[in-house]
Amino acid sequence: MKVDLITLFRQKRVCQVGSDARPVASTVGELVRFQGSGESTPLARVRYGGGNPTLRCLVLWMLGCLIALSTAGAWIEPPVLTAEGYPVPAPDTAPEIPAAHGAHRAYAIEWWYWTGHLRVIGETEDRFGFQSTVFRLAGAPGVAGPEDAAPFGAGQLYMSHVGLSDFVEQRYLHNERVYREGWQARVGVGELDLRLGPITAWELADAPGFGTTIRYEDGTRLELEMRPAKPMVAFGERGLSRKGRDPAAVSWYWTYTRLEVTGQLVRGEATVPVEGMAWMDHEIASSQLGSDLEGWDWTAIHLDDGTEVKAYRLRKNDGGSDPWSAVYWIDEAGATESVYADQFSWEGVKEWTSPATGLTYPTTVRIAARHPVSGETEIYQLVPRMDAQEFVGNNGSNAYWEGACEVQDAAGRVIGRAYLELAGYGGGLSGQLN
């Protein structure tokens, strides 16, 4: 087998996206068992993936139990180690902040992900969209733990993906870098401290939140500070997001769904002050994903009413959607509700063909999902702010589309903004993964 490092990273990314795809039972179970139990520092006002302890929760829980008995079964206790020897995320582990934001070096896979919309201060319309992702892949199990001070370490592998969309100039900058742990890639353990090629990210000293510098081509640079407007959400039952029936297929999945952003964009001699809204994911796991996925469509939506929606559709090789595809609603307080594949639809409305790769992406999509509480069908139509937001990696393969969109309701009114990721349109991921 020939192993391409880039493909390897993409495989991990698939794995992590898939990690949200958990059986209904675990989602319902978490509502009952973990509601409101997280606490610590201000940033650690963690919401464990569920909603309020209301009747609807109990109903949902009972419904969940029924489905769980018929599909995934009851709680599966994860092992301490994977078959390869990596530690498995343990249940009932409250994320301690700021350590939770740092690297979990012993675990096989980890990633940090930010997307957001920015407007120039003083203007009313959004001008920029940005994406910034750091992937970490542990080396051999058992030796990847302690931080390696060598300039050319062999304990950890990292990859960065950054993108910047300028809606006015219709310009999209992006780049990919792969590094080993060493002089070009250092990731702190006790708190968020990422120094990886074009991405630097750290904990703010004076208040909860993160600082980041992202470097793009031609000397363009984003310098941002992001402060959470809502507590961090930890998805999954007993703090574990389950991926499948394999007992080890669990992750810690932590998200800041709404971060208020201020900062500046430096371009040549010009410095433009900006502000906006961002989303951050951080996930840790040690398991691998199966190979029956063709790709996935994923979105994080900021609605103007102060709530957020996360939705994804896992596309299988046979053309169908994985049953664990889901839509999540996060309310003003950070509580979540969700429905799964049979409760929502995801349709491509308009396609765009990339002149660079020739790939065709359904960049305008319409998501229709029945809200589990209101019972109403919510319509979210995602329209890209610009078409050319295709991310092409270093070696030209593994291209995907990840771009800023505006969100419209059924009547065509703009009700929010979103980031949309469309992956696996280059002939299927399974071939690349295997």
User: Which residues bind to another protein, rule: CB under 8 A?
Assistant: 1-6, 8, 137, 139-140, 150-152, 154-155, 157, 162, 175-180, 182-184, 186, 195, 197-198, 200, 215-219, 394-396
In the bound state with another protein, the residue whose beta carbon lies nearer, of 156 and 257, is: 156
**What is d(CA 340, CA 359) in angstroms, rounded to the nearest whole number?**
28
Residue 162 CB, shortest distance to another protein, in Å, is 8
Residue 380 CB, shortest distance to another protein, in Å, is 33
Report CA 75 to chain centroid distance, whole Å: 25
Residue 278 CB, shortest distance to another protein, in Å, is 21
In the bound state with another protein, the residue whose beta carbon lies nearer, of 73 and 151, is: 151
Residue 219 CB, shortest distance to another protein, in Å, is 6
Residue 394 CB, shortest distance to another protein, in Å, is 6
Place of tokens 């990690």: 19
**Residues near 156 by beta carbon (within 8 Å), at least 6 away in sequence:** 103, 105, 136, 137, 138, 139, 144, 148, 180, 181, 185, 187
Task: Please name every residue paired with 314 in a beta bridge, in sequence order, or none if there are none.
Answer: 296
The rounded radius of gyration (Å) of the Cα atoms in the chain is 20
In the bound state with another protein, the residue whose beta carbon lies nearer, of 83 and 333, is: 83
**What is d(CA 283, CA 252) in angstroms, rounded to the nearest whole number?**
6
Task: Give Cα separations from 154 to 9, 25, 103, 145, 149 (angstroms).
Answer: 16, 40, 16, 12, 10
**What is d(CA 157, CA 139) in angstroms, rounded to the nearest whole number?**
7
**What is d(CA 172, CA 356) in angstroms, rounded to the nearest whole number?**
13
Residue 295 CB, shortest distance to another protein, in Å, is 23
In the bound state with another protein, the residue whose beta carbon lies nearer, of 70 and 395, is: 395
DSSP-derived pairing of the beta strands 109-120 and 377-384? unpaired
Half-sphere exposure (CA, 13 Å, Cβ side) for 30?
A: 27
Residue 81 CB, shortest distance to another protein, in Å, is 17
Question: Exposed/middle/buried for 184, CB within 10 Å: 0-12, 13-18, 19+?
Answer: middle
Residue 233 CB, shortest distance to another protein, in Å, is 31
Task: Please name every residue paired with 351 in a beta bridge, in sequence order, or none if there are none.
Answer: none
In the bound state with another protein, the residue whose beta carbon lies nearer, of 75 and 179, is: 179
In the bound state with another protein, the residue whose beta carbon lies nearer, of 217 and 342, is: 217
In the bound state with another protein, the residue whose beta carbon lies nearer, of 45 and 177, is: 177
In the bound state with another protein, the residue whose beta carbon lies nearer, of 264 and 321, is: 264
